[in-house]
Amino acid sequence: MSVISLFADLDLPLSHPHPHHPAAARAAAATHHTSGLRAQARMTWRIARLAVHLAAGCSRVALLYPLVGERTQRKMRARWSRQLLGVLGVELQAQGPLPRPGQLLVSNHISWVDVFVINAISPLSFVCKDEVRSWPLLGWLVARNHTVFIRRASRSSAAEVRDRLVGSLSCGRSVMVFPEGTTTDGRAVLPFRAALFQAAIDAGRAVKPVRLRYVDHRGEHSDAAAYIDDVSFWQSVCMLARAPRTVARVELLPALPSHGLTRQDLAQVTHAQVSATA
């Protein structure tokens, strides 16, 4: 079992006076105001650090990636991802066996942060929606780190992606997919789409289920990282940056052999594993 912890700043809990007493009500309002100012200052500081970190990441990719091999690139990506989580106040807790080369990792999907959470543990390739390319700086970085982009609602794109996945898995490169097809708040796991599981079958590779959860500093479910509904990317960044601390919990589950199973079988079995405690 491996455990990784990245500790971020932790604000002390605030005590609130009884709301029915006038003096207590004024004190509560003052406390709330102070808490709001603290959250705003925290967000501003973290976003400023995030801008610097992104700029540094772009410089490294542009200047150093062409000079080093893939193994060194993976180490650089893991270190940069861990630092990114620290900048955003995200503590990473991971348990379970690390993926072996050439496995198809399958996870529930909550946030754009998921990619960096996994990269901080074990850098690998990802399948992402094509819209990620247009994200400021992050899209450029993601595109230059072995990401496979898929155009949603495009059958030809799905077939092309599957062929690329087979090639990656066959040569020993692990790849992660999010078969729900969208993000959720993490309270439940949507049914898995079976199409991309075919890549593991065609390559003769195992499928490794992964569970993701985000909790707050009290250990309760947190929506701070959730990138859902009509929330814009910028709003999502701000929500995460405002939170006192967010904990990303990752469970790396035992791999499932793909031999003798259909893609529908693999999708159902994997979904049962991932949704068991998600």
Q: Which of 75, 87, 86, 191 is nearest to 124 (CA)?
A: 75
Name residue 247's beta-bridge partners: 91, 215
Q: Is 4 exposed, middle or buried (0-12, 13-18, 19+ CB in 10 A)?
A: middle
pLDDT, position 159: 81
pLDDT, position 154: 66
CA distance 157 to 150: 6
* Average pLDDT of the segment spanning 132-141: 80
User: Between residues 215 and 138, which one has the greater pLDDT?
Assistant: 215
pLDDT, position 217: 86
CB 85 within 8 A of CB 127: no
Confidence of residue 243 (pLDDT cuts 50, 70, 90): very high
Where do the H-state alpha helices sit in the chain? 22-63, 70-87, 114-121, 138-143, 155-170, 197-203, 233-242, 263-275
Q: Which domains does the chain have, with CATH numbers?
A: 22-275 (3.40.1130)
Confidence of residue 34 (pLDDT cuts 50, 70, 90): low
CA distance 140 to 47: 18
Lookup: tokens for 76: 């650089």
CA distance 102 to 166: 10
Where do the H-state alpha helices sit in 152-262? 155-170, 197-203, 233-242
pLDDT at residue 4 above 50? no
pLDDT, position 8: 37
Name residue 18's beta-bridge partners: none
User: Between residues 15 and 226, which one has the greater pLDDT?
Assistant: 226
DSSP 182: S
CA distance 212 to 115: 11
* Average pLDDT of the segment spanning 55-77: 92
Residue type, 239: M
